[in-house]
Amino acid sequence: MNRYLRFVAVMIFICVVPAPGQVAQEKKQTSNSGSTFSRSFLPSDSHQGKEDWTALSIDRSGLDPSSITGVVFGKSERPEFTSEVVRVQWRSGDPIDLYVVRPQGVAKPPVILFLYDYLSDTDRFRNEAWCREVVKHGFAAVGFVSALTGQRYHGRPMTEWFISEMQEALGTSTHDVQMIINYLASRGDVDTAKVGMLGENSGGTIAILAAAADPRIAFVDAINPWGDWPDWLKESRVIPEEERADYLRPEFLQKLAMLEPVKYLPQLSPGRIRIEQVASDPMTPPDVQAKIAASASTPGVVVHYSDVRTQIHVWMTQNWWLKEKLQPSATPPATAEVNHDKQTSGQ
């Protein structure tokens, strides 16, 4: 099994990236994991075609933007932050656990959404060190998982997983981001006029799609986003070899045509997105990374790292991009200088 150091926000985690023959086991682990709350769900009916996954905007998705329910399951107070677990729902059989972390003493702080890849769960959002870091300098953070992930994987046969149902997983999650912003706006305790979003791998793809649909998402930091579907599905090591031919069929690719980040990246205005790519990332092959980078609206928005060690070093010393964008007047902490100009596109 290949091991690939991934990082989340400014916290670094060691995660396992499955080799092709081991994805089925990862699916089982993902389906059996989840939040700490007991769940007795009705099977999800979102896969029965009632929601238009080809429409990025919730206004055309078939969802009712006002049909949001939310119940606070837990709340904790710390000197630096308040953390809440809120179960929200707008789709039958598919409740979502939101982890809402707000800095103490800040009225309506700017907010950053965190969405990691399809193998991720919610444990990191309960980590006090993660919470303390994300609220530094007066920011709120909201963490959640995508469709068919963690606590949202249930009521399905094991043959159905994030990749086999990619149209649903990406389309549903793109709608969810917008509904989450609606929910946060209804609370009134964070600033949703300009929202930041950090997405990793599949989460980076969803962040790009959501930003193309919703102007409230002012800035996106996409880390190793997936895309260029025909080549990604052909070459990515995420795909089990025994299943790859199924995902290269024209009918499968056609379902993803309207969910292609390469199509939407040129529509995002300069300065609105940063793409971070690690050359050694096993999920997205180099030629696919190059096509994603080339589709960005302007040069200089793609940061290249030769390996994970370099990426981690930069993140630990200089990663303030989203916070600077959301609150330009903020003063970042003093950090060591890191020269990575040669790794930045256009330089």
Determine the Cα–Cα distance for residues 109 and 142; give it in Å rounded to an integer.
Answer: 12
The CA distances from residue 278 to 51, 52, 198, 311, in Å, are: 34, 33, 16, 7
Please state, as a whole number, how many other Cβ atoms lie within 10 Å of the Cβ of residue 67: 11
pLDDT mean across residues, the chain: 82
Percent of the chain scored above 70 by pLDDT?
Answer: 78
pLDDT at 346 over 70: no
Other beta carbons less than 10 A from residue 19's beta carbon: 15
Contact by Cβ (8 Å): 194, 111: no
* Residue 287 predicted with pLDDT over 90: yes
Given a cut of 60, whether residue 71 has pLDDT beyond it is yes
Q: Residue 172: helix, strand or coil by DSSP?
A: helix
> Both tokens of residue 140?
């709120």
Q: What is the distance between the alpha carbons of residues 95 and 154, in angstroms, rounded to a whole number?
A: 11
Please give the structure tokens belonging to residue 116.
């990691």
Q: How far is CA 337 from CA 205, 314, 319, 331, in A?
A: 30, 9, 12, 16
Residues 150-209 have pLDDT tens digits of 889 988 999 999 999 999 999 999 999 999 999 999 999 999 999 999 999 999 999 999
Torsional sign, CA 53, 182, 331, 269: positive
What residues have CB less than 8 Å from 99, skipping those under 6 apart? Answer: 83, 84, 85, 122, 125, 126, 141, 142, 143, 144
Question: Do residues 137 and 105 touch, judged by C-beta distance below 8 A?
Answer: no
Asked if pLDDT for residue 32 goes beyond 70, the answer is no
In this prediction, residue 229 carries a pLDDT of 98
Rounded to the nearest 10 degrees, what angle do helices 202-213 and 166-187 cross at?
A: 60
% residues pLDDT > 90 (the chain): 66
pLDDT band at 101 (very low <50, low <70, confident <90, very high): very high
* pLDDT tens string 217-273: 999 999 999 999 999 999 999 999 999 999 999 999 999 999 999 999 999 988 899
Pairing of strands 302-305, 69-77: unpaired
CATH superfamily of 3-343: Alpha/Beta hydrolase fold, catalytic domain (3.40.50.1820)
Q: What is the DSSP letter of 114?
A: E
Place of tokens 């003093």: 334
Predicted confidence band of residue 297 (pLDDT cuts 50, 70, 90): low
More confident residue, 347 or 121: 121
Over residues 94-100, mean pLDDT: 97
Structure tokens at 343: 């790794």
If one compares 307 and 127, the residue with the highest pLDDT of the two is 127
